[in-house]
Chain A
Amino acid sequence: MRKVIMGNHSLSYGALLSRVQVISAYPITPQTQVVELLSEMCASGELKAKFINVESEHSAMAALIGASAAGARTFSATSAHGLTLMHELLHWAAGARLPIVLGNINRAMAPGWTIWADQTDSLSQRDTGWIQFYCSSNQEVLDTIIQAFKISEKVLLPSMIVLDAFFLSHTYEPVDIPDQVVVDEYLPPYKPKYVLDTKDPHTFGGITSPEYYYEIRYKMEMGMRESVEVIKQAGKEYGELFGREYGLIEDYRCEDAEIIFITSGTAASTAKVVVDELREEGKKVGNLKIRVFRPFPFKELRRIIEHAKKVAVIDRNISFGHHGIFAQEVKSALYNHSNIPVFGFVAGLGGRDINPQTIKEIYHITESNEYPSEKVFWIGVKK
């Protein structure tokens, strides 16, 4: 069924089709419609799930940790301050190896108060042990939720599906809503091996000495590494059933590209348009979209860009005192592998537009300099 829906409702439909069993949420702009629609679905009986109206995002994640440990498939959505209030429990969910799926609408952090797009909220959570997907269209949001449950339940790590505030969360696009029967075939019910069960009692998350903790963390890292192949497989199987295949990255006209943009989120869609325009001018340019940020797609990224002369990383985020975060990650992926110059650009913070003109400016800076003259270029700062 094809339907014109907003990005936020793509999350809700994704959760519905995944047959989530416990939802726990607290409202925050621009996330609210995600859980409003889910609460309606629960109230009407369309979705057979428990909806817990908690008093904070910290409690939303705590409730999901309890529910997931007790064997339910769980979902929530949040944004910015809500996500950062969850921070402690994001560590807990991953450390407890619980396959919770969370939608996060990328919104900038205050002060000043703002509700507009910026990736600093979710990128601040990069070391919590969550798999992170950055989506560029409402279709991708819906499809990724369903895949995320499959992936998380296989590798026992939680997943965060990230989309830009307003550029996607409030934008209506035609979305193919898959048939429930086929989704059920793709995503069987969650059956955890270890669960809170009074017939087979175990203690979870107890005090752990240096003798064991280190190995527990090693196993988490192994789970994260294993997820690389699991994500690819889940994306491929999804393609076979629904006609839309997904991978860790998405390369667009990169085969012979001399300059490659590296983008994520909605900026990736804009960059593709700019690539087409520049190609018409005879410029050899391509776009590489990073869909999966954790685990970071080292191998796939190197394979695509090793033939290019320069890369331009566009970051809607900043790690103060350093770079945009994607630029850091790309540099670390290339270190000891390639001497290709990496141009880092910060743009679009706090909802400032990253429009075709912004990306063309980025192209011209990259094209006209042999090496980056600045550690990071801030695009469009008002003087």
Chain B
Amino acid sequence: MRLSIPEQELMTPGHLACQGCGATLAMRYTLKALGNDTILTFPACCWSVIDGPFPYTSLKVPLLHMAFEATGATASGIKAALEIKGNTETTVVGWAGDGGTFDIGLQALSGAAERNEDFIYICYDNEAYMNTGIQRSGATPWGAWTATTPVENFNSIFKKNIEEILAAHRIPYVATASVAYPEDLVKKIKKAKGIKGFRFIHIFAPCPPGWKTRSEDTVKLARLAVQTTVFPLYEIENSEKYTINIVIKKRKPVNEYLELQGRFKHLKEEHINFIQENIDKNWEKLLKKAGLI
């Protein structure tokens, strides 16, 4: 049998993630795709902890931890240093959660994208500030409970469309990926590795404690997010060429995805209908952009 995912493991067991953590799958597949000639930098995020406490680490590649809002700039500096020293081979990766990407890190991210810096920025998205205990972020979906959006006042702000924000910077590559579709994820990371300039990859990574889900449901939920088109898998090349990688012919109703999660338990039928309408609209827009309708 031909394996499309490399066997090499650059992430070790013994990390500090919760059971069923989507972010660990995201990292494991990412490093398999990139290989060991990779330098990572993290802002404050779940991975600041998952990596393991000093003097240990669960990663076999060099890693620089940094302040919360600084990923875009830090990776720019690492790349500049490598280049001036004549190293054009090593892949530099800024690896941040949704808070460090959608919110506090957006300025440095935009600066780096605007300069078309030659590194890969990966956002693993668990849809809230999970490391500090489930507070809402700019990536939290409409309708969700979080510790700062209690059920009486659930999150009624739409998730930022980070792909469109990044694509508007005219960067060569923007892609979404999911831990439920590892072949697609690895393919995209490998593709990104071969492109020069700023590359942005948004990986959907469910969080059992934050979403109030069963740890064994992580991959199932990530797959349902794609099958319901809550989180479609697509690419935007040079800000204009849209490709949907997994085209869902028979979309599942959003309720199949929502009902498995405690964070949506309070929603009434009208709320679910509202969410469904918005997903339908977004999917149609995406199909149009991809030239499929």
Identify the A interface with B (CB < 8 A): 21-22, 24, 48-50, 52-56, 58-60, 62-72, 74, 88-89, 92, 196-198, 200-209, 212
Contacts and interface: CB of A to CB of B under 8 A. Distances in A.
What DSSP secondary structure best describes chain B's contact surface? mixed
A230 to B, nearest CB: 24
A138 to B, nearest CB: 28
B62 to A, nearest CB: 4
B256 interface: no
Contacts of B115: 52-53
A68 B78 CA distance: 8
A71 B39 contact: no
Interface residues of B, number: 45
Contact of B85 (A53, A71, A88, A201): A71
B111 A55 contact: yes
Contact of B65 (A62, A68, A205): A205
B114 A55 contact: yes
Contacts of A55: 107-108, 110-111, 114
List of 10 A-B pairs having minimum Cβ-Cβ separation, nearest first: A66-B77, A55-B111, A63-B77, A59-B73, A72-B81, A70-B81, A62-B70, A62-B73, A205-B65, A67-B77
A58 B69 contact: yes
A268 B63 CA distance: 45
Interface in B58-89: 59-67, 69-70, 72-85
Contact of A206 (B48, B75, B79): B48
The CB with the most chain A CB atoms within 10 A, among B49, B53, B80, is that of B80
A196 B81 CA distance: 10
The CB with the most chain A CB atoms within 10 A, among B48, B81, B115, is that of B81
B51 A207 contact: yes
Interface of B: 36-39, 41, 48-49, 51-55, 57, 59-67, 69-70, 72-85, 90, 107-108, 110-111, 114-115
Given A55-B111, A201-B63, 9 more contacts: A63-B73, A67-B78, A68-B81, A71-B85, A89-B67, A196-B62, A203-B65, A207-B54, A209-B54
The CB with the most chain B CB atoms within 10 A, among A49, A50, A70, is that of A70
A49 B84 contact: yes
